[in-house]
Amino acid sequence: MSSTFPDVSLSTDRLVLRPFDEEDVPALTEMMNDEAVTAWTQAPHPYTRDDAYDWVTRVAPAERTGGRGIVFAVSEFLTQRLVGVVHLRRTDWRTLAAEVSYVVAPWARGEGYAAESVLAVARWLFDVQKFERLELRTAADNTAAQQVAQKLGGISEGVLRNAWIARTRTEDGGWTDIRTDLIVWSLLPEDLDPDGGSGVL
């Protein structure tokens, strides 16, 4: 088996999951400066246009070519507007397992886009790439991310105590680091509805 993912795009009824391009830089910059993204991710803050350009042109492509995973820009099928990011990472090619993380733009939240896009990636990972395990890790207080894991049918396997550094607002309006637990969720091929299809373009 190859130790890199192919350069593919995926689709759902509403979304296209594709490689990033330079036209995504402004929307990515705006999305990554959202307070919820700052709080729950390790992204730089403030997130600059240079950070976005580096991600689009260097970091994201290198995840795939380096065999570590694959990054999808998620956009609406009809408007092409950037909805979010789905990132397969920490890929273990021997055990055929990977971890998934996801970010959704503030304007797109509440539409089910996170679950829809992660499900598309999970189906592709299991059905086409023949992987055996997909792992999600959510901060203990990040209820939105946990709801996505539950909606996908993820099984909560336990808690990694004190394993993550999140950020919280200070009284003066700045940010400070806080330690938090991580909840580990897993998806296996048999956890998904077999009638869904993978949507590879």
Which tens digit of pLDDT belongs to each residue from 144-194? 999 999 999 999 999 999 999 999 999 998 999 999 999 999 999 999 876
Residue 195, pLDDT score? 59
Residue 194, pLDDT score? 64
Task: Give which of 104, 36, 165, 151 is closest to 185, Cα–Cα.
Answer: 151
Which tens digit of pLDDT belongs to each residue from 95-120? 999 999 999 999 999 999 999 999 99
Beta bridge partners of 175: 169
Q: Quick one: average pLDDT of 55-67?
A: 97
Q: What is the mean pLDDT of the chain?
A: 94
Does the structure show a pLDDT above 90 at 1? no
Confidence of residue 197 (pLDDT cuts 50, 70, 90): very low
Does the structure show a pLDDT above 60 at 27? yes
Residue 142, pLDDT score? 93
Residue 173 tokens read as 């309006």
154-163: which pairs have CB atoms within 8 A and are 24 or more residues apart?
154/185, 154/186, 154/187, 154/191, 155/185, 155/186, 155/187, 155/191, 156/183, 156/184, 156/185, 157/184, 157/185, 157/186, 158/183, 158/184, 159/183, 159/184, 160/184
